[in-house]
Amino acid sequence: MQVVIVTGASRGIGAATAKLLGRNQAAVVVNYRTGAQQANEVVADIEAAGGKAIAVQGDVGTEADVMHMFAECDRLFGPLTGLVNNAGIVGAEKRRIETVSFDTIMTLMRVNVAGALLCAREAVKRMSPKHGGRGGAIVNVSSLGAITGSPKAFIDYAASKGAMDTMTIGLAAEVADRGIRVNAVRPGLIDTDIHASAGLPDRVERFGPQMPMKRAGTAEEVAEAIVWLLSDKASYVTGEFIGVTGGAR
Ligand code: NAP
């Protein structure tokens, strides 16, 4: 049975990924930071589909919370086979470099970069045969912004996703001989609440029609790529990036 931790799974891409894993009868840790009710609804959906699930509150940018989340997974579901580093933030509003605060930068890096590294560390400890594990797969949810740099809007966010991409390349090489695969998806414009959180509630409406496919993507479309990368169907794929961008570059 797949045992997978999905960070930031109360909404958006994380929730869609957790639900799709549930349909494959996986055991899923549904991590969330504030949305307890939404996380519980994701758990109920997974259980209804025949999977197992538990909601675990925790901030991925806080080491004690990450340790607790992995300990809960060990206790309830046993050996971890997958991690989806999905939890991520953009910041409260569109900005240029002149207006970025130190706090905004540090919060972004703590959640998006340190959070992903901490979770990867704990996952490798459990998956590596050196520590008694049986291999596994890690999928990082990066962004097209890692390539474009998101000028005049979110370059600090884009830089955090660039760091995630570098981690994907390095960690994939570091653990390839331990049966652990590490890959990433780079979503483009996806219809989730993240845009409203960034003060741009109409972003999908405004920019969707300008995409090559004339629409934004859905969380479910990104989840399909993530779940494939987690699965044995991707058994010889590591250190790779799948763009889920509808053709945007
Ligand atoms: P979303 O709808 O805003 O959902 C974000 C999720 O992350 C929520 O479940 C939230 O939990 C959780 N979260 C936020 N901070 C957290 C923290 N410190 N610790 C644990 N969980 C935390 O976002 P989304 O659009 O699904 O984005 C998911 C990932 O895709 C992010 O990494 C994002 O950068 C990336 N991405 C998204 C797009 C897009 O267009 N949507 C494009 C490129 C990349 P609570 O609600 O419970 O607080």
What CA–CA distance (Å, rounded) separates 33 from 52? 20
- Calculate the alpha carbon distances from 233 to 103, 128, 166, 236 in Å: 42, 20, 24, 8
Name residues whose C-beta falls within 8 Å of residue 157's C-beta, 6 or more positions apart in sequence. Answer: 89, 90, 91, 108, 112, 143, 145, 150
CA of 141 to the centre of ligand 1 (A): 9
Query: What tens-digit pLDDT sequence spans the chain (249 residues)?
Result: 999 999 999 999 999 999 999 999 999 999 999 999 999 999 999 999 999 999 999 999 999 999 999 999 999 999 999 999 999 999 988 899 999 999 999 999 999 999 999 999 999 999 999 988 999 999 999 999 999 999 999 999 999 999 999 999 999 999 999 999 999 999 999 999 999 999 999 999 999 999 999 999 999 999 999 999 999 999 999 999 999 999 999
pTM for this entry:
0.98
Surface-to-core class of residue 110, CB atoms within 10 Å of its CB (0-12 exposed, 13-18 middle, 19+ buried): middle
**Residue ranges per structural domain of the chain:** 3-244
CA of 8 to the centre of ligand 1 (A): 6
Q: Which fold has domain 3-244?
A: Rossmann fold (3.40.50)
Q: Which of 5, 6, 7, 11 to mutate to test the pocket of ligand 1 (most atoms within 8 A of CB)?
A: 11
Show which residues are catalytic.
Answer: 157
What CA–CA distance (Å, rounded) separates 242 from 102? 32
Find the helix packing angle between 12-23 and 219-230, rounded to 10°.
50
Atom of ligand 1 nearest to the CA of 112: 32
What CA–CA distance (Å, rounded) separates 176 from 21? 24
Find the helix packing angle between 115-127 and 155-175, rounded to 10°.
20
Q: Is 141 in the pocket of ligand 1 (CB under 6 A)?
A: yes
Residue corresponding to tokens 């009868």:
25
Q: Is 61 in the pocket of ligand 1 (CB under 6 A)?
A: yes
CA of 196 to the centre of ligand 1 (A): 12
